[in-house]
Each structure stands twice: as C-alpha cells, then as structure tokens.
Amino acid sequence: MIRRSVIRGTGHYLPERIVENSWFEDKLDTTDDWIRSRTGIERRHFAADGQTTSDLAIRAAKAALDRAGMAAEDIDGIVLATSTPDFTFPAVATMVQAGLGMKRGFAFDVQAVCAGFVFALANADAMIRAGQADRVLVIGAETFSRIMDWTDRSTCVLFGDGAGAVILEAQDSAGTSDDRGVLASDLNSDGAYRELLYVDGGVSSTGTAGQLRMQGNLVFRHAVEKLARTAHTALDRAGVTADQVDWLVPHQANMRIITATAQKMGLPMEKVVLTVADHGNTSAASIPLALSVADGEGRFAPGQLIVTEAIGGGLSWGAVVLRW
C-alpha cells in the first residue's frame, strides 16, 4: 500500500471584466482576425482596479472547498503558484490562508511562471506521500495584466487574469497504475534560456515590477519539443502509455502550441481540454482553471487518465499524470 494524492475538489474564479480582441484594435496595429488566427484567443479577463492576485486566489479556493464539501479547517496546507504576487512578501498563499480563516498549517508560494501549477502540484503530492499533510489546497493565480507592455502587440494580446484551485487528499492505494490520484510527475528547468521569456524588473535589479518580454518564435520551438517529452517521461514513470490517456489538460498558452504538442503525443484534439479562447494565457492559473471548467461540465469520469503539462519562463517545464 502507498499514499496517493487524489483530487477531491476543483474551483476557479475569473474577474468580471471581459476584454474582447476588438479592445486592442484602436490601441495597436492588430485585429481580431490576426489575434484569433495566430493564437486561438478570442477574449480574456482582466482584474479590476484594486483587485489583487490573492483576491482571485481566495475566490477560487472557496469554490474548490464548496465543490469538495470541505471547510478551511479541513486543509493542512496551501501551495500557491504565481509570478504576479500582491507584494514582494509575504507569500500570496499566506494571504489566502488568512482570507479563508485558516488558523493552522503551512502556506507558501512556488514561482515557475506558466509551469508553476505543475511544480506546485508535484510538491504538494510529495508532501502528502511523505505524510507531512493529508489535505493540501493547490492554487494557481495570476494578474498578468499588471506586467504587460501595452505597446507590444506580440505579448499584450496573449495574457489574462484568473485563478484555479484543486484540493488534494491522501488516500491509501495499491501502488499500481490503476490507482486514483497523482501517479507520476516530471519537472525540469534550464536557466540558460531565461532571456527567451522574462520580466525586465525586480527587487534587486531595477526596484520595479517590470514588464513581460518574450521571444515568441523561440519559445514556441522549445515548447512543443519539451512539452511532448516531459509528458512522455511522466507517462513512463506512471507505467502507462499515451494511447491510454483520456484527457490532456495543457497549459493554455495558445492554440498552435497546444495543437502541435497533442499531435506530437499522438492525441486527437477531442481528448484535449481547451479554454484558451475564453481565458487567454493565464500563466500558472491556466491548468487549474481548465481542470475546474472541465470538472464543472462533468467531462471527467472516475478512473480516467489525465495528463497536465506546461512550460514557462526560466525556462521551466514539467508534467503530472493522474487518474481522476
């Protein structure tokens, strides 16, 4: 028998403000058709003035608790992925902890940009397996609209704000690939490529938040190759194969990357959960958002095999294989 981390509940929150592609047309040399054809994005959500990453995360966490039929006091810890925190410190996770009324347990942030949720999920799973916690709230939350260069049409049209959350709970299992819960993960980073996707500010460099910079063509090239490879590595570690996968829940960067990665994995698009058209790229929030949306629509069935994968600045990339 081994301890597995089973998903007990999902939840998400999107800010009320919806920004259609047409909003950019009188600000940039771009059109709705240009954005759709190159990214698959039709709209995204932007946080309201004064609305912070922790605000979004708290709402997503409450939604996950409601769906799981749990209360905040049932949770042993929070692992939150973000690269757009409210403050340099404390961690956004601690503000979520306070917002939920939790008086015990741990709360900390993980920073791996768009791959953040995969890293957070793998860390939470490891803590549960090690017996350090029985229930962990894992959150991805971002307000990327705060770090956009609104004169750069190659980046500012891509990103949106939002938050998603899952609750992992320990469950004794047989230790086979048929178990429910997280079966395997694969995490990678290579700092030599940091200039492909970064923010040009920081506490010890400029003393400012900075703005996002990206070499899109190079990121695309790395993304497709690395995402397919990390997914297959995680599948191998789980003792399953790509043809057994029921759902791919990828980081919702853009449709070209998602489609190319699915093709490289040999998966039809009918098995891919897509939210990029309505949410844009919400960085660390995109996978838990997609999980929550698909869960709410009843698309996942008990026992189904799910692969999540993402790549982000760093470069950092990884995948998690789980059985629903």
User: In the annotation, is 281 catalytic?
Assistant: yes
User: In the annotation, is 156 catalytic?
Assistant: no
Edge-first strand order for the sheet with 305-312 is 181-189, 316-323, 305-312, 247-250
Task: Out of 114, 123, 232, 279, pick the active-site residue.
Answer: 114
Residue 310, Cβ neighbours under 10 Å: how many?
Answer: 31
Contact 174, 115 (CB under 8 A): no
- The residue type at 252: Q
Task: Out of 12, 45, 232, 251, pick the active-site residue.
Answer: 251
Query: How would you write the chain as a 3-class SS string?
Result: CEEEEEEEEEEEECCCEEEEHHHHCCCCCCCHHHHHHHHCCCEEEECCCCCCHHHHHHHHHHHHHHHHCCCHHHCCEEEEECCCCCCCCCCHHHHHHHHHCCCCCEEEEECCHHHHHHHHHHHHHHHHHCCCCCEEEEEEEEEHHHHCCCCCCCCCCCECEEEEEEEEEEEEECCCCCCCEEEEEEEEECHHHHHHEEECCCCCCCCCCCCEEECHHHHHHHHHHHHHHHHHHHHHHHCCCHHHCCEEEECCCCHHHHHHHHHHHCCCHHHECCCHHHHCECHHHHHHHHHHHHHHCCCCCCCCEEEEEEEECCCEEEEEEEEC
Residue with tokens 């997914």: 231
User: In the annotation, is 114 catalytic?
Assistant: yes
Residue 89, Cβ neighbours under 10 Å: how many?
Answer: 10
User: Which active-site residues does the annotation give?
Assistant: 114, 251, 281
